[in-house]
Copies of this chain bind each other. A is one copy, B any other.
Amino acid sequence: MRDGGRDRRERREDVRLRGFSTRASLAEATAWVDAHAAALGAEAVEVDAAAGRVLRAALHAPADLPATDRAGEDGHAVRSRDTVGAGAYHPLPLALQAPGAPVGPVTAARVVAGAPLPPGADAVVPFGAAHEDGASLEVVVAIAEGAGVERRGQDLRAGAALLEAGRVLRAEDAALLACLGVPHVDVVRRPRVRLVIAGAKRGPTAPAPPDAAAPLLAALVARDGGAVAELVAGDDRSALAAAMAAPGVDAVLVAGRTGTGPDDVAPLALGDAGDLALHGVALRPGGSAGLGRVGGVPVLLLPGDPLAGLCVYELLGGRLIRRLGGRAARLPHATCDVEVGRKIVSAVGVVDLCRVRLVGGRVEPIGSVEHGGLASVARADGFVLVPAPLEGIAPGARVTVHLYGAAPAELATGGAP
């Protein structure tokens, strides 16, 4: 047997009743995700529905904007030279034409903002700078050439680079495309996710706990631009293998049955259905995560414990969904760099995801890394990732906090996501 084969078999060992003899580093697990999750293909969506989607290819302006020389404000179109010398004490009379009619010497025609500039005119006198008096317009301000006028192509030239590939389209971009008469746009297809609730493992006397994975993961997948297309439950090895192997989705997230208990069969089921690439990641909480593929579709195994499952989703699952959807792979949280106020205790050899609070502009850990459950997340302003080589971070050091929700007011002058 080749070494590669042996190494791979070791990663797939059955850890039940034995524990993990080795774990992949978080960097290895991240690299696996990056190697097996490329951006999906394109689909056309109407511009009304394009905000928040990822542009598949660069767009160039299909037309000039404005499409014609036009009035930039409401008023009267004039020839600017006819207003030279006008003033409050020296009104100049111009002959009023019909609205939109060509403007010749010493004439004026009403025009509204956005309407084409009448032929012959080179400026617009706003209504406040003149008043109509029968068939005459009394102009009381001298107007410079081009004032109140928007020239064809002034905002955007036909053919100019408009939006780069991979841009997350803003509402304003969609509106700009509407202004340009673009009816639909090619965006990266939204990743379809099957969420498999493997069910909490439990002792013979325990009631089934409420399922927290479905509300948690559905909302986070949506945050990352994907959609939970199917939610299925299954708690034995063959049911889980079948749920992983069913076609029709771009990724499978399995919540639960990843640990060392006798009914922790999710890794075995992934090996049955396809390829279990790794099981066990040097991450706390979340050390029992697994990764693999079935028929080319990536499958992530998340611990059933809600906090551990959350950590694995944040560090591996979100990245998977974002990459499939053509988005930036990095964590989507806003961040801030803050000084540590109370020592963050960590373990050497694993990445610790430490929930923290911001107190007086400094960072304090909430409880210990492995304990506190989702209640520690609810109390937290964000989290700090402690790199594997460190056994902690001392007070006074600066750390990057990934923020849950908006930053507290004390950081209101802080930076950007």
Q: What is the interface of chain A, defined by CB distance below 8 A to chain B?
A: 15-21, 47-48, 50-52, 65-66, 71-75, 99-100, 110-116, 126-129, 131-132, 150, 154-156, 162-163, 168, 170-176, 178-181, 200-206, 209-216, 218-220, 223, 259-264, 304-306, 310, 328, 334-337, 370-378, 400, 403-407, 411-417
Contact = CB atoms under 8 A, between A and B. Distances in A.
Contacts of A218: 48
Contacts of A73: 259
B416 A74 contact: no
B305 A113 contact: yes
Contacts of A204: 99-100
Contact of A168 (B17, B181, B405): B405
A118 to B, nearest CB: 8
B116 A178 contact: no
Copies of this chain in its oligomeric complex: 2
Contact of A114 (B155, B205, B206): B206
A220 B19 contact: no
Contacts of A417: 334, 403, 406-407, 416-417
Nearest to A109: B203
A403 B172 CA distance: 13
B337 A116 contact: no
B205 A406 contact: no
B216 A174 contact: yes
Contact of A176 (B150, B172, B212): B212
A57 to B, nearest CB: 16
A176 B73 CA distance: 54
Contact of A171 (B201, B219, B373): B219
Given A100-B203, A175-B216, A306-B175, A18 B334 contact: no
Contacts of A110: 262
A304 B412 CA distance: 33
Contact of A112 (B176, B203, B336): B203
Nearest to A287: B73
Q: Please list the 5 inter-chain residue pairs (A to B) with the smallest Cβ-Cβ separation, ordered nearest first.
A: A414-B415, A19-B128, A407-B416, A415-B415, A115-B203
A157 to B, nearest CB: 10
A203 B99 contact: yes
A76 to B, nearest CB: 10
A146 B214 CA distance: 31
Contact of A210 (B18, B178, B210): B178
Given A116-B206, A203-B100, A176 B378 contact: yes
Nearest to A48: B215
